[in-house]
């Protein structure tokens, strides 16, 4: 049961509800360790990365319970413990536990975090910022050991606005006495959501949505009930999927406010978007129009997490497109898989690829090796002539609750097997 089978060329038509955001949920779950009480979370996506994080929280003594769509996390009994090597290695988001664990227990030992194979993904920015707050790191038999007597506030500046490093600093600082200043912070919506969550627990974070955060430590964080917003990357995936073979769709609860870059690209390619109170209605041309250049960038630029999906769509778009990846190296790994369908690429350099649209792709057997690349292969298969089979569904399940169900609701002929 690790494959997806797609019969291509069924125009998409229908409505799909967008799940809660993975990248908002994961740091908030880690942050629940900072609250010595219960947090009630609505709209947490049921994806394997979330299950992995919940597993770690349970290992640390938290009590976790789903009550239908509501997730209850109670960290009153949390205690210092080991973070299971296998889980930490398989999820980059295990790095989010550094800040909360240091704040609560003053020490933590963990494997170096893993996650999708998209580039080197070092953690130097996390470590350097936390070092400035008094943390000492040592390598202990290949594991990362961090300890601190007492965290102290600092005036920090990130040389690059790393999402994860920003989130770790925020989580380390919210209960640290004094004022921590963070310049060069990431402005991604998920960082804003983490701040809003913590402020709803009584934290004092100013500058939300800007690259300069002022965090004044508070003694306690109180219990809260919080709704995880919809996933802008999942919404963007389905929006771009509409170009695979035309049609129209309604993306219910798509977080439009945070999708400007992808909506603008969709419009350039010929989609007509109508915004309503609770979503986006999109109509697609039979073939995606010209798009000479797209560059990924930090928010509010075009998100790196949608680069592969866009690449898949451009395989059959009109004209040539230069795709420039500016956030992660090694995010063009799906090219070899897309070539199996007849796609036409020219690598310009490590960071740039030129794709020339062909009229039709042909169904093929392909292998997903990471989350967004896997989703991109599915999108390519939707528009291809004949049947495609994509193995490695487990990578896609890390971030999509049920991509087959969602796309079937839009009329696609797709099953998991
Ligand atoms: C988060 C998202 C991921 C998204 C990315 C960029 C989660 C769970 N994941 O990942 O989906 O693609 O933001 O929007 O929220 N870097 C360093 N040193 C560090 C940290 C990062 O060099 O210490 C580099 C990375 O290798 C990468 C770039 O900075 O090239 C961006 O990474 P970062 O913003 O930290 O992404 P993540 O938090 O890992």
pLDDT in tens, 262-315: 999 999 999 999 999 899 999 999 999 999 999 999 999 999 999 999 999 999
* Ligand 1 contact via 92 beta carbon (within 6 Å): yes
Q: What sign does the dihedral 133-135-139-145 (CA atoms) show? A: negative
Give whole-number Cα distances, 82 to 16, 50, 201, 395, in Å: 40, 19, 27, 25
Q: Token pair for residue 141? A: 């038999």
Contacts of 138 (CB under 8 A, 6+ apart): 145
Q: State the pLDDT confidence band at 220, using cuts at 50, 70 and 90.
A: very high
Give whole-number Cα distances, 286 to 89, 246, 294, in Å: 43, 4, 21
* Ligand 1 contact via 300 beta carbon (within 6 Å): no
Gap between the Cα atoms of 195 and 6, Å rounded = 40
Residue of the CA atom closest to atom 20 of ligand 1: 123
Domains and CATH numbers, the chain: 3-19+230-416 (3.65.10.10), 22-227 (3.65.10.10)
Contacts of 270 (CB under 8 A, 6+ apart): 284, 285, 288, 289
Contacts of 124 (CB under 8 A, 6+ apart): none
| Residue 151, number of CB atoms within 10 A of its CB | 22
* Ligand 1 contact via 164 beta carbon (within 6 Å): yes
User: If you measure from the C-alpha of residue 264 to the centroid of ligand 1, how many angstroms do you get, rounded to a whole number?
Assistant: 24
* Ligand 1 contact via 106 beta carbon (within 6 Å): no
User: If you measure from the C-alpha of residue 164 to the centroid of ligand 1, how many angstroms do you get, rounded to a whole number?
Assistant: 6
Contacts of 90 (CB under 8 A, 6+ apart): 52, 114, 115
Of 245, 241, 249, 253, the residue nearest 272 (C-alpha): 249
Q: Burial of 22 by CB count in 10 Å (0-12 exposed, 13-18 middle, 19+ buried)?
A: buried
* Ligand 1 contact via 163 beta carbon (within 6 Å): yes
Residue of the CA atom closest to atom 29 of ligand 1: 162
Please list the active-site residues. Answer: 116
Residues 309-340 pLDDT 10s: 999 999 999 999 999 999 987 789 899 999 99
User: If you measure from the C-alpha of residue 77 to the centroid of ligand 1, how many angstroms do you get, rounded to a whole number?
Assistant: 31
Average pLDDT in the 85-96 region?
A: 81
Q: Token pair for residue 51? A: 């299950």
User: If you measure from the C-alpha of residue 138 to the centroid of ligand 1, how many angstroms do you get, rounded to a whole number?
Assistant: 22
């Amino acid at each position: 049961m690790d494959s997806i089978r797609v019969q291509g060329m069924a125009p998409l038509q229908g409505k799909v509800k967008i799940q809660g955001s993975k990248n908002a949920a994961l740091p908030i779950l880690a942050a629940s360790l900072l609250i010595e009480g219960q947090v009630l979370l609505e709209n947490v996506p049921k994806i394997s990365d979330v299950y992995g994080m919940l597993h770690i929280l349970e290992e640390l003594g938290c009590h976790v319970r789903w009550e239908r769509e509501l997730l209850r996390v109670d960290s009153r009994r949390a205690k210092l413990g080991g973070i299971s090597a296998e889980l930490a290695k398989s999820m980059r988001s295990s790095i989010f536990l550094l800040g909360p664990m240091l704040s609560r227990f003053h020490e933590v030992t963990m494997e170096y975090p893993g996650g999708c194979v998209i580039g080197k993904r070092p953690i130097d920015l996390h470590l350097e910022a936390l070092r400035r707050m008094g943390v000492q790191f040592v390598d202990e038999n290949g594991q990362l050991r961090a300890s601190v007597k007492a965290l102290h506030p600092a005036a920090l500046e990130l040389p690059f606005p790393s999402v994860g490093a920003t989130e770790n600093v925020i989580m380390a600082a919210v209960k640290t006495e004094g004022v921590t200043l963070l310049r060069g912070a990431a402005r991604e919506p998920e960082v804003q959501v983490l701040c809003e969550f913590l402020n709803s627990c009584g934290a004092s974070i100013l500058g939300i949505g800007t690259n300069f955060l002022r965090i004044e430590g508070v003694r306690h964080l109180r219990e809260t009930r919080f709704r995880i917003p919809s996933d802008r990357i999942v919404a963007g995936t389905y929006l771009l999927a509409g170009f695979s073979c035309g049609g129209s769709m309604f993306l219910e609860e798509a977080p439009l406010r945070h999708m400007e870059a992808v909506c603008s690209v969709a419009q350039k390619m010929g989609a007509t978007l109508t915004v309503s109170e609770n979503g986006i209605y999109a109509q697609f041309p039979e073939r995606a129009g010209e798009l000479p250049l797209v560059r990924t960038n930090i928010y509010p630029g075009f998100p790196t997490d949608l680069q592969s999906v866009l690449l898949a769509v451009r395989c059959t778009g009109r004209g040539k497109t230069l795709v420039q990846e500016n956030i992660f190296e090694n995010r063009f790994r799906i090219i070899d898989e897309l070539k199996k369908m007849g796609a036409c690429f020219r690598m310009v350099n490590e960071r740039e690829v030129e794709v020339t649209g062909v009229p039709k792709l042909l169904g093929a057997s392909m292998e997903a090796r990471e989350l967004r690349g896997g989703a991109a292969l599915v999108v390519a298969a939707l528009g291809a002539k004949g049947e495609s089979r994509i193995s490695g569904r487990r990578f896609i399940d890390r971030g999509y609750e049920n991509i087959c169900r969602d796309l079937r609701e839009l009329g696609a002929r797709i099953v998991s097997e």
